[in-house]
Amino acid sequence: MKGRKNIYLRFAVVIALVYFGLLIILYCSESANSDAMIQTFGDAFWYSLVTLTTVGYGDLIPVTPLGHVVGMIFLLLSAGIMVTLLGAVMSFITSEGMPFLLLSLQRHKNWYYFADYGVESDTLAANIYKEDPDALIIYGEQRSRRSEIPNYPCIYLNVSPDKIVDKKKKVGAECKIFFLKENDIGINKRAINLHELPVEVYARTTNGQDKLSGNIYFFHSYECCARQYWRSKPLCKHENTIVLIGFGNYGTSILERAILTNIISIEQHVAYHIFGDAKEFLSIHYRLGELFSLDEESERKDSLIFHKETWTENPSILERADRIIICEDDEQNGWSAFWTLNKYYRIRGRIDLRSSWKVPGISYFGANEDIYTTQQIIRTDLNKAAIMINDIFRRSVSYPTLGWNELDDLHRQSKIVAADHLLMKTRILLEDETITELTAPVVKKAYERYCKTKNTKNTREMYRKLDHMRWLRFYTFYNWSYGSFRNDVARQHPMLCEYEELSPEQKQERDAAWELMGNISAELE
């Protein structure tokens, strides 16, 4: 780039020297002739300007043979200049020039830069535009000719994200960058390279759990789908038997989310029947047997029953199930299971089918437009709630604790899961299972209910036990165990025990997630 600039500079110097040389020749040849119209250097400059721009007023013309030669050169140069200018204008319009000009005119807006164009990017961009019609959508690659034209304004600009950020500097509005092509190696590398930029970066990956690292947030669609499913179709008190058909990426994420957030009663005993290969899952989460009944139903705690045979061989379980979740990775297999269930089995419970598109008349989940939303991807409200929980927790204990930015990924995730359970807490407090969304009036009402009832000893103990159960599930899920002293390396914690064995201060720590409702209510208002 530097060498190219030097070449351009040298070329400009040469052109300038030739031009001034011609002016001097024209001035000297014409001023020597008393009958000539060009008598001063200013006259010569004016003539060159009029000729080169093809205006041609005719007020000044050379009369000497040498002046005529210079005039012919200026005429020839004028044609070249016009062609060059036309080419520059076309190049400006068709390359980066025009988009960058448009960017400069819209620096006050919130910018959302998508490094690639695809179904996921288009869906998220459309949802962003619905929430923020003044947003500026920028794509780093052109859409394919077969793609539908977006129904929102956008700019296509094939430049690196750092150039976009540089253009946005010193402006108060937001700039967010998205990598939504599912390619772990390529996307992870491109996203990590942006860790020093003063922007938020969101990268879709297939590798592990959601992860927030500095300004870079890694997420995957399976986790988003699972979160969307349990928030839109939460567990109800009457549901004791739940069947999962399909235990690939989606099925695993749905079960993981159920383990972490489906805590509705201290006396619940939900039996999850899972059809699919669970060998790897159980080998990773090898401590689940400490909190769950494995391979057989229990009336004292939740059960995880993994079936080696196919679901078609267990009609009795299907027919008594309160809910059947079809979460095959292959949607065609999912649809086949759905039609088979409806055609050949007596199903008394609901059937929820994973589908990437909306299907009228069917209880579906996982549609792209429900997954690729700001609440699912950017998760501003959820992350705020998690930070609030950590702040409340720090104020409630007497020993030193870490701030949000000092927490490692695991303990940030623990606070995010606690925030995820807020919907269930609201449903519990208000005894209303129709609530599927947290609004300001709903959260305020739930918090008022909590304040009225928490002073009753039995009720307060019930609230604390419930959140302790949720907390135990999280750490057991990540294979932590009891230890006299906390040891993060050995994954040991002194609170990994029955609620009754906790100290009064440790029991009080369980209030933080409930007290959060007051903060959330004020935030929503």
Predicted local confidence at residue 2, as pLDDT: 47
Interior/surface letters 309-334, b for 16+ CB within 10 angstroms, e for the rest: eebeeeeebbeebbbbbbbbbebeeb
Are 352 and 324 contacting, i.e. CB atoms less than 8 angstroms apart? yes
Predicted local confidence at residue 1, as pLDDT: 45
Predicted local confidence at residue 96, as pLDDT: 53
Predicted local confidence at residue 72, as pLDDT: 75
Predicted local confidence at residue 251, as pLDDT: 96
Predicted local confidence at residue 93, as pLDDT: 47
Predicted local confidence at residue 33, as pLDDT: 76
Low-confidence ranges of the chain (pLDDT < 50): 1-2, 92-94, 208-209
**3-state per-residue secondary structure call for 120-178:** HHHHHHHHHHHHCCCCEEEECCCCCCCCCCCCCCEEECCCCHHHHHHHHCCCCCCEEEE
Cα separation, 390 vs 328, whole angstroms: 36
* Domains along the chain with CATH numbers: 2-94 (1.10.287.70), 99-219 (3.40.50), 241-362 (3.40.309.10), 391-524 (no CATH)
Are 50 and 56 contacting, i.e. CB atoms less than 8 angstroms apart? yes
- The three-state secondary structure class of 216 is strand
Predicted local confidence at residue 248, as pLDDT: 93
For residue 154, list its beta bridge partners: 137
For residue 384, list its beta bridge partners: none
